Structure 1
Amino acid sequence: MSVWKRAGIPVVTAAVLVGAAGCQDGDAGNKKATGGPELQSRDAVTKVVQAAYKKTAEAKTAKVSMTMTMSGSAEAAGTMELSGVMGWDPTLMDMTMKAPKGMAGAGADAAMPEQIRMKWLDDAMYMDLGTKAAEEMDGKRWMKMDLGAMAEASGDKQLQKQMTRGLEDMNQSPAQQLALLLDSPNLKHVGSQKVGGVEAQHYKGTLTFQDMVKSNKSLDVLTEKERKELVDQAEKSGIKGYDTEVWVDEAGYPVKMDLGMTMPQGTVKITANYSDYGVKATVVAPPAAETFDFMKLMEELGAAGSAGTGAGAGSPGSGA
């Protein structure tokens, strides 16, 4: 349980990081650029974003520096800083997360490493949980979570469908965020603005949750009934729609993106700065001798629990 507690925050972080769709209410991100009043026409905006999408999709990798802020009642409320390399088509990641500021237990929990390295490779997430985890897990400090294998082992067809959809969503990239932006009926040019000393053009657009569902090809596995349930749940949760902001530099690449997600439990806001598109990104899985499989661990714990229950079922005073 102590191992899982340490793993929980990076798992949530990774899920949001690689699958974030930028959902927030319509007022979010309503910032004014510092550039002049001359704005591009809708046709010009579309051409710029389309060109940026093509260049970004072809690059396949980039360095990223990201700040993720979670607020509300979630245990993981606070601010995280992540940096490293990420790739898309195929999805891969090698990033380091600094100890979250303000999150429950952060800093006070000596068992939690000050930095957590996260790798994503072949539909599996690896997390370095530090020396404390190694002490508890026979020298194994890396935890592996293979979502596809977990779904298949469950034998639950619905779960497999949901997990497959989730893996496809995890192939999100700056390019896909640009593609979503192109689907916005109110895509617009906000103005010019310097980002990290680089001149960039600022664009934004919004989509309703229903529009987002239609645009997301990975949701094609859903039946019409399931789609309606998804939209109804989102509306009940108070998610009004999606808003994405992007800053494109003179070379035609997105150098910054603002994304967010608003839920009843709180909000998640992400600011990502990108650079070095096309950088070489070789992600290698940790040594097998230093890695334990989360699914196998759960199976062993379940088997041990069943054995313990069976052994005590007929004993006096067991309460069975």
Structure 2
Amino acid sequence: MAMAAWKRAGVCLTAAAVVVGLAGCQDGDGGGSKKKAGASSGSAAQSRTEAAEVLQAAFKKTSEAKSSKVRMTIETSGAAAQGGTMEMSGVQGWDPAVMDVTMKGGGFAAAGPGAPEQMRVIMLDGVMYMDMGAEQAAEMDGKRWVKMDFKALADATGDPKIQKQMTGGLENMNQDPAQQLALLLESPSLKHVGPEKVDGVEAQHYKGTLSFEEMIDANTSFDLLSKEERDELVATAEKSGMKGYDTEIWVNEDDLPVKMVVGMTMAQGTTKMTSHFSDYGAKVEVEAPPAGETFDFMEMLEELQSLGAGGTA
């Protein structure tokens, strides 16, 4: 085949890492700030209070909107940059969580010759569908879509810890701007930067920083873990050089986010995610691909096992 089974799997995992991995970074508590920031005084405290009031209003408006168009760029530097820059654009919905986007970038090229230059990705009911293109369909009896059911994958591992981590974030698998607002509200350093124009729209710029441990405390997906598991996760992050999350949000006059930037620093490099949002309330009609055109990722894993570690299809 023009694309070996392991290359197809690599492309799928690249797409999944972008959608699911980033969702974990963007998961707030789903209801605004859970705790008060650390002690501060004077104008700094007043500034944070005023910023929090604006973002609370933005959280409410964004939650009610339930959908938007999104355009995202993920940039990496250092050793983490081997996958290159990834771009994603399309429509998304939250409550319920759905997504229909097109992804492209260096991460796919890393899978080798025959990998698609871009890929359409659909998220629906906790399942991710990836369009591998016409070439894939010709090689797989007309099946161009790969289906990745995360709950099924979690169950297949037989590892309770992995199951908790994977299924705990199922409802957050799209880049929900309301959740990022909730997370930023937890930042003790939250502040108002000032007015700026974004995509031709007047907006107010806010920013804040969360340590990895503060992010864990604010993220309800990690409530499924025991104290020992949480401590282990924090220790692992510290060993990897994870410094925390720097978040910036621009809110327009309608109390809706028009741009978000999330930066992460680790020992192997940095990651910066820049998202632009528009058309809040846009109609999102997402349907799963026909079953006859779909190939299950679990079957792909079985195929890889039959081929062996170095096999080609």
Please give the range of the TM-score, normalised by the shorter of the 2 chains.
0.7 to 0.9
Aligned to 2:32: none
* Aligned counterparts of 2:236 and 2:156: Cα–Cα separation in 1: 28
Matches of residues 135-214 of structure 1 in structure 2 within 5 Å? 135-170=138-173, 173-214=176-217
2:231 to 228, 233, 237: 228
Over the aligned positions, Cα root-mean-square deviation in angstroms equals 2.3
Moved more, 179-188 or 261-270: 261-270
Cα pair 1:201 1:247 within 8 Å, conserved: yes
Q: Is the 8 A contact 1:71 1:77 kept in 2?
A: no
Pairwise CA distance, 1:62? 0.5
**2: distance between equivalents of 1:189 and 1:286?**
44
Partner of residue 73 from structure 2, selected from 67, 70, 78? 67
For the structure 1 residues 96 and 124, does the alpha-carbon distance in structure 2 shift closer, same or farther, using more than 3 Å as the test?
same
1:15 aligns with 2:1: no
Post-superposition offset of 1:121: 0.6
Structure number with larger C-alpha Rg? 1
Q: Distance in 2 between matches of 1:162 and 1:18?
A: 12
Contact 1:193–1:200 (8 Å) recurs in 2:
yes
Shift in CA distance, 169/147, structure 1 to aligned 2, threshold 3 Å: same
Q: Is this contact kept in 1: 2:146–2:294, CA < 8 A?
A: yes
Segments of 5+ residues of structure 1 without an aligned counterpart are: 23-39, 306-320
Structure 1 residues 161 and 128: CA distance shift in structure 2, 3 A: same
The corresponding residue for 1:312 is none
TM-score, length-scaled by structure 1: 0.82
Name the counterpart of 1:273: 276
Give 2:116's match in structure 1, choosing from 110, 113, 116: 113
Matched residue SS, 1:193: strand
Alignment of 1:70-109 (within 5 A): 70-74=76-80, 76-98=82-104, 100-101=105-106, 105=109
The answer (yes or no) to whether the contact 1:112–1:130 under 8 Å persists in 2 is no
Q: How many Å separate the matches in 1 of 2:220 and 2:174?
A: 12
Residue equivalent to 1:54:
60
1:222-262 superposed Cα distances (whole Å, 9 cap, x missing partner): 11111111111111111122211000000110000001233
Distance 1:41 1:109 in 2: 51
Taking the aligned partners of 1:109 and 1:250, their CA distance within structure 2 comes to 46
1:169, distance to aligned residue in structure 2 (A):
4.4
CA deviation after TM superposition for structure 1 residue 157, in Å:
2.3
Report the Cα distance in structure 2 between the residues aligned to 1:168 and 1:236, rounded to whole angstroms: 29
